[in-house]
Amino acid sequence: MFMKFVVFVIVFCSLLSCGDEQQQFLDNNILSEYLELNHFRELSGLIACAGGKEGGLFNDPSEASSVFFYPIEGATDFRYFETDSLSDPSDFSQYNAKLIDSEPIFNGYLWKFNNLDFEGERYGVVTYKTEGRIHACNPIRIKTNVKPTEQNPDLLQVVEDGVNPRFDWEDGVTKENAIYFQVISDEDNNLISGTYTFDKNFTFYNLDNVVLNITDTLTTPTLVPNQNYTLTMMGVSEDNWVNLFIEKDFKAR
């Protein structure tokens, strides 16, 4: 009986050792291995896209492109992984962690990574954690130098209609947009509403043509007459690149 116990202990310790060795070889900095290290968490998606151009979308040359994402309630441990070239986007072993600055936008309702400049194209993936889950976005094709994001506010018109204005826009130079993201924010940069449409129009706060809504739905958002607001609109392609980025101020009537 004693010998059987000794054999059991040896085998058990050997299995533990193998497990420890496997953990030692797994790397937090490689996306496929980072996900494997978190295999006990349920894998879920998250909403993300990226846009950029020479000089940056926000006139900061050190932030050639911005990787935007929506952290749901309870999200922590924001990370960004990127390939070194335009490889197979589904091969997560080609994605390495990139240590770049990140910051909240719309007072934390959304978030963005401030990506550095590079030649050519790459793929990027954002991850974060919530309780019991690890979230990863669909691969984003980063095209800062190849297909820079257009910023042209003249392509968007605001049709004044009291506190329910209508916004109409046209595609810019690049006609590859698959979906459009609209954010309305107040003078304090608080997000009032965040919606997605396939159409090139949105009427506040009519959800008839909205296909995805990230607005806090606990209350119905409203605009205050004679107050100033900003509409931020992104035209996004199927590979999650922002082809068109517009910010336009307006006043509710």
- Asked whether 151 and 245 are in contact (CB, 8 A), the reply is yes
Check for a shared fold between 31-142 and 153-251.
yes
User: Mind listing the pLDDT tens digit for each residue in 163-183?
Assistant: 999 999 999 999 999 999 999
pLDDT over threshold 70, residue 22: no
d(CA 238, CA 253): 36
- Asked whether 212 and 199 are in contact (CB, 8 A), the reply is no
210 compared with 26, residue with greater pLDDT: 210
> What is the Cα Rg of the chain in Å?
22
Beta bridge partners of 112: 68, 103
Question: What number is the average pLDDT over the span 62-66?
Answer: 95
User: Mind listing the pLDDT tens digit for each residue in 78-119?
Assistant: 999 999 999 899 999 999 999 999 999 999 999 999 999 999
Q: Which amino acid is at 32?
A: S
pLDDT over threshold 80, residue 190: yes
User: Mind listing the pLDDT tens digit for each residue in 203-223?
Assistant: 999 999 999 999 998 899 999
Question: What number is the average pLDDT over the span 212-237?
Answer: 96
Task: Identify the pLDDT of residue 84.
Answer: 96
Task: Identify the pLDDT of residue 218.
Answer: 87
Predicted structure pTM score: 0.90
d(CA 237, CA 239): 5
Q: Beta strand pairing status for 42-44 and 133-136?
A: parallel
Q: What is the DSSP track for 10-28?
A: HHHHHHHHHHHHHHHH--T
Question: What number is the average pLDDT over the span 132-141?
Answer: 98
Q: Which stretches within the chain are classed as H helix?
A: 2-25, 31-37
Topology of the domain comprising 153-251 = Immunoglobulin-like (2.60.40)
Question: What number is the average pLDDT over the span 190-214?
Answer: 98
* Domain-wise residue ranges, the chain: 31-142, 153-251
| CATH number listed for the domain at residues 31-142 | 2.60.40
